[in-house]
C-alpha cells in the first residue's frame, strides 16, 4: 500500500493571485473596478516604481516595475495608490485559509501565491473541477481573481499558472513540455533571470529546448550544480514535495533602499550602508537570527546590478559587525559609477540560540573569564539535565516599523499555529 502511494502520480496546483495588490484595492473600493490603477511608492523620493498594476492599466502598456512618470505618460488617467500592506496581509491570509479547507498540504511561496498537493482529493472530483471550485470560491468570497496551474510537479504547475492570466486554469503534463515549453526563449523559464540567461546564451542555449537537450555533465561543468537543476526542470523533472513548513525556513535577512538621487559621494553611500546595516540588525534581533555571510547589492544609474559577499568565521547580528563588513566590501568593489540602489543582506542564518562562536587567538581572552561559569553550568546540567539552565531567556522581539519587510515572507508570521 505504501509503495502504491509512493509511486502514485502527484497532482499539484500552483495558485497565483492576479495583480494581487491592485485587485485587493479594487475589492476594497469597488468604484476602482474597471479603471486603470497602480500601487506605487513615493515619487518624491524617487521610489516611484509600480509595485503592481491592474489589467486595465496593462492594456494601455503599463507594467510592474515601470517608473511612475512613464506610466503616467502611457496612461494619463491612471490612478496611483500607496501600498496598504496590512490590507494585503488580511487578503492573503483569507486566501490561504480557503486553500487549507481542502488539505493541509498547502505551501505558501509568497504573499500572493502557493502550492497545493491535491493528489488525494481529485479522486472525488477531476483536477479541473477542483481547480474551478477553488478559483470560484476565491472570487466569490474574497472578490479576487486568481490563476491556477495543474501539473505533476511544482515547477510545471508554476509554469502552467503563468500561461493564462487573469482567471486562467491550465494543465501542463510532462508529455506536453516539448510542444508547449521547449520552443520558449530561455529567459521565459521560471527560475532564470537576466544574468543566467545571458550566460546560457553564451553557451549557445537560447531556448528551453536547447537547455533540455544538453547533458548533465555539460551543465555541471559550465554552470555548476545549479545547471543540473535547470536541466532537470527543462525536462519536466522536479521531485520537491509540497511542504507547508518550508516557507518559514528563513535563509537570509536583508534590506535595500533606492537613493533619492544617483549618488557618487563615498561619505553619503557609506552613511546609507550604515542605515541599512542597522535595519538588518534590527530584523535579525526581531527574528532571533544570526548568520556568517554579509552581502552588499549595488545598482548603478544604468540599472546594472552586482553583488559581493564575505563569509566570516563567526555569525554576526549587531549593526557594527554588519556595517564593518558591508563598508569594507563596498570600498573594495565599488567602481565609481553613480549608485541608484544599495542593499545589505546577512545570509545562511540560523536561530541565535544555536550559534556557536569559534575561538581563536584573537578572541580567546574574551571567553577565558567565562570558564568558572561554564564549569558551574556543566556540573548543573550533568546533575539535573540539559534543560535546567540556559544562558538567557529567549524572547521573541516585537518588530518595529524599521524591521518589517512587507515584500518578504514576514507576512506569514501570524499564520503560525
Spatial CB neighbours of 282, under 8 Å, sequence gap ≥ 6: 400, 402, 403
Nearest to 153 by CA among 63, 278, 242, 78: 242
User: How many angstroms separate the first and last alpha carbons of the chain?
Assistant: 32
> Is 16 among the annotated ligand-binding positions?
yes
Query: Does residue 113 have an active-site annotation?
Result: yes
Strands (E), 126-217: 146-151, 169-171
Please calculate the CA angle 251-253-259 and round it to the nearest 5 degrees: 140
d(CA 93, CA 414): 9
Cβ contact 246:107 at 8 Å = yes
- φ and ψ at 124, to 5 degrees? -85, -35
DSSP state of 359: P
d(CA 76, CA 78): 6
Instruction: Please give the grid coordinates belonging to residue 340.
Output: 541608484
Options 25, 56, 107, 113, the catalytic residue? 113
> Is 249 among the annotated ligand-binding positions?
no
| Long-range contacts (CB closer than 8 Å, 24 or more residues apart) made by 127-131 | 127/11, 127/13, 127/171, 128/169, 128/171, 130/13, 130/102, 131/13, 131/169
Residues belonging to the binding site are: 16, 112
Residues belonging to the binding site for Mg(2+) are: 16, 112
Catalytic positions:
113
Amino acid at each position: 500500500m505504501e509503495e502504491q502511494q509512493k509511486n502514485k502520480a502527484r497532482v499539484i496546483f500552483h495558485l497565483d493571485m492576479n495583480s494581487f495588490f491592485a485587485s485587493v484595492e479594487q475589492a476594497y473600493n469597488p468604484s476602482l473596478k474597471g479603471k486603470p490603477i497602480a500601487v506605487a511608492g513615493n515619487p518624491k523620493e524617487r521610489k516611484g516604481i509600480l509595485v503592481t498594476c491592474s489589467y486595465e492599466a496593462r492594456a494601455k502598456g503599463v507594467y510592474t516595475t515601470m517608473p511612475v512618470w512613464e506610466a503616467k505618460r502611457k496612461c494619463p488617467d491612471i490612478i496611483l495608490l500607496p501600498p496598504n500592506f496590512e490590507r494585503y496581509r488580511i487578503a492573503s491570509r483569507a486566501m490561504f485559509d480557503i486553500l487549507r479547507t481542502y488539505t493541509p498540504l498547502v505551501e505558501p511561496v509568497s504573499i500572493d501565491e502557493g502550492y497545493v498537493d491535491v493528489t488525494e482529493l481529485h479522486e472525488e472530483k477531476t483536477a479541473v473541477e477542483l481547480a474551478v471550485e477553488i478559483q470560484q470560491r476565491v472570487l466569490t468570497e474574497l472578490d479576487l481573481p486568481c490563476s491556477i496551474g495543474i501539473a505533476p510537479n511544482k515547477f510545471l504547475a508554476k509554469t502552467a499558472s503563468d500561461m493564462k492570466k487573469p482567471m486562467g486554469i491550465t494543465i501542463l503534463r510532462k508529455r506536453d513540455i516539448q510542444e508547449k515549453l521547449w520552443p520558449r526563449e530561455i529567459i521565459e523559464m521560471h527560475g532564470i533571470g537576466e544574468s543566467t540567461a545571458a550566460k546560457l546564451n553564451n553557451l549557445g542555449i537560447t531556448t528551453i529546448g536547447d537547455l533540455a537537450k544538453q547533458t548533465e555533465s555539460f551543465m555541471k561543468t559550465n554552470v555548476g550544480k545549479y545547471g543540473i537543476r535547470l536541466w532537470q526542470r527543462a525536462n519536466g523533472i522536479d521531485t520537491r514535495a509540497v511542504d507547508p513548513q518550508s516557507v518559514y525556513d528563513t535563509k537570509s535577512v536583508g534590506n535595500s533602499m533606492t537613493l533619492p538621487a544617483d549618488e557618487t559621494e563615498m561619505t553619503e553611500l557609506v552613511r546609507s550602508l550604515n542605515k541599512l546595516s542597522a535595519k538588518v540588525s534590527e530584523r535579525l534581533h526581531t527574528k532571533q537570527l544570526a548568520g556568517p555571510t554579509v552581502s552588499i547589492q549595488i545598482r548603478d544609474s544604468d540599472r546594472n546590478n552586482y553583488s559581493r559577499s564575505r563569509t566570516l568565521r563567526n555569525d554576526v547580528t549587531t549593526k557594527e559587525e554588519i556595517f564593518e563588513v558591508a563598508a569594507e566590501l563596498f570600498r573594495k568593489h565599488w567602481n565609481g559609477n553613480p549608485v541608484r540602489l544599495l542593499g545589505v543582506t546577512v545570509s545562511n542564518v540560523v536561530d541565535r540560540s544555536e550559534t556557536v562562536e569559534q575561538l581563536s587567538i584573537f578572541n580567546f581572552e574574551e571567553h577565558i573569564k567565562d570558564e568558572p561559569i561554564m564549569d558551574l553550568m556543566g556540573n548543573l546540567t550533568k546533575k539535573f539535565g540539559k534543560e535546567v539552565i540556559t544562558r538567557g531567556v529567549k524572547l521573541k522581539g516585537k518588530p518595529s516599523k524599521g524591521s518589517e519587510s512587507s515584500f518578504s515572507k514576514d507576512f506569514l508570521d501570524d499564520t503560525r499555529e
